[in-house]
Chain A
Amino acid sequence: MRKRSLVGVCVLLGFLAFFPSGWAQAQTIKIGINAELTGDIPKVGEGTKFAAQMWLEDVKAAGGLAVGGKKYPVELVIEDNESKAESAVKAATKMITEDGVLVMVGPQASKQAVPAGGIANNYKTPMISPWSTNPDTTKDRPYVFRACFLDPFQGPVLANFITTEFKFTKAAVLYDVASDYPKGLAEFFKMAWERLHGPGSVVAYESFTTKDTDFSSQLTKIKNSGAQVLFTPQYYNEVALIVQQAHQLGWKKPIVGSDSWGSAETVTLCGKDCYGLFFSTHYAAAGATGATKEFIIRYQRKHGYVPDDVAALTWDAMGLVQKAIQDTGGLTGDLKKDRENVRSAMGRIKNFKGITGDMTFSGGGDPTKCAVIVRISDKGEFEFYKAACP
């Protein structure tokens, strides 16, 4: 009995696949959400789901998504990828081939987004990862986009910010030579800084290795190098040690960091020493204004906590998807053709006003957008200071 019904379903599915017009009758826009709902980073998946559902509420309140003068109902297909690469691939394949989604949002983490992006590209289905910062996610994949900036991008942004904000010309860098993220960022910062201020303007380029706790020798060198600012793209536990030791060695100049500073632990471990310092990141909850503030208030009222960068970026990714669908000027009902139209529309989006900054796609899948510079306030909160562009 069970076997027969299975055969029936297969036949039906086969029919549907051969007659694309079968999809068109539903006239429902399906958007796939590939989220890390369980596994290592469930908080990331939760933020994704909540932000996407908030977007859906808005669409429903408007009576559907208006495309080319016609309103379409929207359905979210939410799949759990268990924070695993293989499950993300499975979820993506299922959403594309079985559920017939028009476009996919997620996965978030690069570990899942890089392989899932490969699937999306092979099936010629547009996908946007809100949070994945690894270059490989979108590299050579015309169908894959992202809503955040890439790791290397923060180097030039911070170099510019320090130059315009403080008018400094000499910088020092202290980084972990044994860890990819800090090492890469240190190199990009050095390159950008020397492009602005000439060779030799990074007067001290010092390193240590993971697990080191004493930086006194490096910091003594930095202090006596005549540097006006110290850039250290480290994780929160090292940030606390570096900043405290620098102050104990008599360093009174600014210390600047990158989005790896953006953990609540930074201030817990570092204390008053970190107050007044700057770092770059995707989004800042404290001191937000306009649409960003509205989103934060709404989210907090509904779910009881301040949304993190994943939720904010997902919200923007949903907005980009909406804009891309609307920019197609109308759906043909042929899923293959519509996916292609959405892809090319997304690649053409200019000056999209997101809550994490303005975004412009110019050709590739990576948006040109500005980073947010956060100042650690005198109460230890991460406060929006200004937007910084490369």
Chain B
Amino acid sequence: MVIFLQNLVNALQWGSFYALIALGYSMVYSILMLFNFAHGDIFMVGAYIGVGVSMALIALASLGAFAMPNWLILVLTILISMFLTSFVGMIVERVGYRPLRDAPRASAAITGLMIGIILETGNLALLGARRVSFPSLIATTTYDVGGVFVTNKKIMIVLVSFLLALALHQFVRRTKWGMAIRAMAFDVTVVPLMGVPLNTMISLTFALGSALAAAAGILFGIAYPVLDPYMGILFGWKAFVAAILGGRGSVMGATLAGFLLGFTEIFVAMIFPSTLRDLIAYSIILLILTFRPHGFFGEPYSARLRL
């Protein structure tokens, strides 16, 4: 039982990252019917921007004039990095996807792959192959709850992820902008004719997705403080699986699927030899998709399939 609860805690943390990244995939996909393959690398860029911002803030705080506690630095780091990374997302869209909006979807998907490679190798050229360690802003405190070990960082990561997913959900459900996004997901040809600015809305979608990826990157840096330029690739792929599993354009679905993916990986490793983890975990996911090809919350949309 203790082992089960411990792995539950482990899975909650691991699933948080998938959920946050999957949200960005899902939103872009719902509007443009486009797999933004660069999204995993935006997550990486977000983490690196987080390192830069937090180091700048630490330097600023040590000057004395702007003395601030570490938790404030962390909150500011997350907010500023989300803001900055949203611009990276918008630039990627402007440079990579907008010129190809009417091109075949396959070309646009390939563009995403190329932008991903450019971001990875650009980072490699800029910072070298050395691993970067994320500055530790808050000390790790471990709580022993009846044999289940939980750290303050784990709690924070899961809480922040939930809050961000909830915030996005509210934004999409309750605001005018959110309504526009949903409408465009429904029909991207007709809605602009009603006066909804297409380019602005697409930029907004990319900005939101990238901001969430940046938050995921920083939380990742806090939990696993060793960053390298290729960290986003595998993560991107797996989160992409979560986005599809959740259902097209469903905020709830992507979040749930992200956590489900985390749970599957962790519990498969708990029950089976860890060598077989991904083999078994992704076979299970494949099986789920076979029976629910539109994911958990997706609707069939064969009439408008544009691929």
Binding site for B on A (CB under 8 A): 177, 206-209, 211, 213-214, 216-218, 220-221, 224, 236-237, 240-241, 244, 247-250, 265, 268-269, 271
Q: Which of B149, B225, B234, B267 contacts A249 (CB 8 A)?
A: B149
- Bound Cα distance A249, B225 (Å): 16
24 A–B pairs (Cβ distance < 8 Å), ordered by A? A177-B275, A206-B274, A207-B273, A209-B278, A211-B230, A214-B10, A214-B13, A216-B10, A217-B10, A217-B265, A217-B267, A217-B274, A220-B3, A221-B3, A221-B270, A240-B133, A241-B224, A244-B225, A248-B151, A248-B153, A249-B6, A249-B149, A250-B144, A269-B225
Asked if B7 contacts A220 (CB within 8 A), the reply is yes
Q: Which of A213, A221, A241, A265 counts the most chain B CB atoms within 10 A?
A: A213
- Bound Cα distance A331, B263 (Å): 72
Task: Please classify how large the interface on chain B is, using the bins under 10, 10 to 19, 20 to 34, 35 or more.
Answer: 35 or more
Q: Known: A211-B234, A244-B225, A248-B142. Is A217-B131 also a contact (CB below 8 A)?
A: no
Q: Which of B6, B144, B228, B231 contacts A220 (CB 8 A)?
A: B6
- Bound Cα distance A236, B14 (Å): 22
Binding site for A on B (CB under 8 A): 2-3, 6-7, 10, 13-14, 130-131, 133, 136, 140, 142, 144, 149, 151, 153-154, 220, 224-226, 228, 230-231, 234, 265-267, 269-270, 273-275, 277-278
Asked if B275 contacts A207 (CB within 8 A), the reply is yes
Residue of A nearest to B262 (CB): A214
Q: How far is the CB of B237 from chain A (nearest CB, A)?
A: 11
- Bound Cα distance A221, B220 (Å): 22
Q: How far is the CB of B129 from chain A (nearest CB, A)?
A: 11
Q: How far is the CB of B110 from chain A (nearest CB, A)?
A: 23
- Bound Cα distance A247, B133 (Å): 18
- Bound Cα distance A271, B140 (Å): 12
Number of A-B contacts (CB under 8 A): 80
Q: Which of A217, A248, A268 contacts B140 (CB 8 A)?
A: A248
New contact pairs (17) apart from A211-B230, A250-B149, CB-CB < 8 Å: A206-B274, A207-B275, A211-B231, A213-B220, A214-B14, A214-B224, A216-B10, A220-B270, A221-B269, A224-B3, A237-B131, A241-B226, A248-B140, A248-B153, A265-B131, A268-B133, A269-B226
- Bound Cα distance A237, B154 (Å): 21
Asked if B3 contacts A216 (CB within 8 A), the reply is no
- Bound Cα distance A237, B132 (Å): 10
- Bound Cα distance A237, B224 (Å): 10
- Bound Cα distance A247, B153 (Å): 13
Q: Which of B10, B136, B269, B274 counts the most chain A CB atoms within 10 A?
A: B274
Q: Which of A211, A221, A248 contacts B149 (CB 8 A)?
A: A248
Asked if B224 contacts A213 (CB within 8 A), the reply is yes
Residues of B within 8 A of A271 (CB): 136
Residue of B nearest to A213 (CB): B224
Q: Known: A237-B228, A244-B225. Is A269-B149 also a contact (CB below 8 A)?
A: no
Asked if B136 contacts A213 (CB within 8 A), the reply is no
Asked if B274 contacts A269 (CB within 8 A), the reply is no
Q: Which of B144, B228, B266, B274 contacts A208 (CB 8 A)?
A: B274
Q: How far is the CB of B150 from chain A (nearest CB, A)?
A: 9
Asked if B226 contacts A240 (CB within 8 A), the reply is yes
Q: Which of A209, A220, A248, A269 counts the most chain B CB atoms within 10 A?
A: A220
Q: Which of B142, B231, B267 contacts A213 (CB 8 A)?
A: B231
Residue of B nearest to A220 (CB): B6
Asked if A217 contacts B7 (CB within 8 A), the reply is yes
Q: Known: A213-B231, A216-B10, A217-B7. Is A269-B269 also a contact (CB below 8 A)?
A: no
Residue of A nearest to B148 (CB): A250
Residues of A within 8 A of B225 (CB): 240-241, 244, 269
Going nearest first, the 8 A-B pairs with the smallest beta carbon separation are A216-B10, A217-B269, A250-B149, A213-B224, A217-B266, A207-B275, A269-B133, A206-B274
- Bound Cα distance A221, B2 (Å): 11
- Bound Cα distance A248, B155 (Å): 12
Asked if A265 contacts B266 (CB within 8 A), the reply is no
- Bound Cα distance A208, B14 (Å): 15
- Bound Cα distance A208, B265 (Å): 12
Q: Which of A209, A217, A248, A250 contacts B270 (CB 8 A)?
A: A217
- Bound Cα distance A268, B226 (Å): 10
Residue of B nearest to A174 (CB): B274
- Bound Cα distance A214, B274 (Å): 12
Q: How far is the CB of A235 from chain B (nearest CB, A)?
A: 10
Q: How far is the CB of B246 from chain A (nearest CB, A)?
A: 21
Residues of A within 8 A of B140 (CB): 244, 247-248
Residues of A within 8 A of B133 (CB): 240, 268-269
Q: Which of B13, B142, B230 contacts A216 (CB 8 A)?
A: B13
Asked if A218 contacts B228 (CB within 8 A), the reply is no
Residue of A nearest to B9 (CB): A216
Residues of A within 8 A of B153 (CB): 248
Residues of A within 8 A of B265 (CB): 217
Asked if A265 contacts B224 (CB within 8 A), the reply is no
Residue of B nearest to A216 (CB): B10
Asked if B275 contacts A269 (CB within 8 A), the reply is no
Residue of A nearest to B233 (CB): A211
Residue of A nearest to B132 (CB): A269
Residues of A within 8 A of B224 (CB): 213-214, 241
Asked if B274 contacts A207 (CB within 8 A), the reply is yes
Q: Which of A217, A224, A247 counts the most chain B CB atoms within 10 A?
A: A217
- Bound Cα distance A244, B140 (Å): 10
Residue of B nearest to A210 (CB): B234
Residues of A within 8 A of B142 (CB): 247-248, 250
Residues of B within 8 A of A250 (CB): 142, 144, 149
